[in-house]
Amino acid sequence: MILKEEILREKLPNHIAIIMDGNGRWAKQKGKDRIFGHKNGVAAVREVTESAAEIGIKYLTLYAFSTENWNRPSKEVNALMSLLVSSISAETKTLMKNKVRLLTIGDTSRLPVKVYKKLEDIIKKTSKNNGLSLVLALSYSSRWEILNAVKNIASEVNRGKIDLNQVNEKFFSNFLCTKKIPDPELLIRTSGEQRISNFLLWQIAYSELYFTNKLWPDFKKEDFYAAILDFQSRERRFGKISEQVNF
């Protein structure tokens, strides 16, 4: 059965976020080192990005490197950074061809200069593309992002630039890294772990959560479509009752 054909185009989520997990375990199962797992994880990034662009998803956010990931052994951190540069460089043509716009969220000032510059370059190059927006969460953690927003708002209040009464949900959202990005309707996590790990805590207030046992390098187009179909079978009530949302 081809799952893609079952997807209702009029009920597509606008924004899908993914916690790509399980590269290390995937490699271990094969008797290889963790970096081998990350290299194969890149192939899954390509699969999912392609599928998202093909079916018309507007935003795809991938948790590629968390603030906490800086604490991994330096060999692994360096390998992840090199992989990031080599894969985005290798994919630039494809991104342009498919009108994919690259964005990042997170404290990218912590990234090595070479990685930061490469990202800046591709972000600029793809900035006018109007297809899928591919958002890479890099050196990202939600608590960092929220604290940062609170500090910036407090500083503006102190300087008399804003009045505390102006601070409502919409206003606060504009101080987050995702200020121009709609909240995800669907959050996928691979590898069987069922937690959020400091990812988009504010933005997923009403997201549907989808957990799969597949390890990230094994996550293929069909798995992505299965997650979307599962999403489409759910009733999203946003605190209302069933009869209110079905009219």
Give the residue numbers marked as catalytic: 21, 69
The answer to the question of residue 21 lying near ligand FPP (CB under 6 A) is yes
Among 41, 60, 104, 181, binds ligand FPP (CB under 6 A): 41
Residue with tokens 């950074």: 81
The answer to the question of residue 23 lying near ligand FPP (CB under 6 A) is yes
Exposure string for 109-135, b = 16+ CB within 10 A, e = fewer = eebeeebbebbeebbeebeebebbbbb
175-179: long-range contacts at Cβ-Cβ below 8 A with a sequence spacing of 24 or more? 175/148, 175/149, 176/145, 176/146, 176/149, 176/202, 176/203, 177/105, 177/106, 177/140, 177/145, 178/105, 178/135, 178/203
> Can you tell me the distance from the alpha carbon of 247 to that of 70, in angstroms, rounded to the nearest whole number?
48
The answer to the question of residue 64 lying near ligand FPP (CB under 6 A) is yes
The answer to the question of residue 106 lying near ligand FPP (CB under 6 A) is no
Measured in degrees and rounded to the nearest 5, phi and psi for residue 8 equal -85, 115
Specify the residue, 74 or 165, whose C-beta has the smaller distance to ligand FPP: 74
Give the residue from 44, 64, 6 showing the smallest Cα distance to 220: 44
The answer to the question of residue 62 lying near ligand FPP (CB under 6 A) is yes
Specify the residue, 42 or 186, whose C-beta has the smaller distance to ligand FPP: 42
Q: Using CB under 6 A, which of the segments 36-44, 122-130, 144-152, 154-162 binds ligand FPP?
A: 36-44
Among 4, 25, 58, 125, binds ligand FPP (CB under 6 A): 25
Q: Using CB under 6 A, which of the segments 37-45, 107-115, 164-172, 175-183 binds ligand FPP?
A: 37-45
Residue numbers at the binding site for ligand FPP (CB under 6 A)? 20-25, 38, 41-42, 45, 62, 64, 69, 83-84, 87, 136, 216
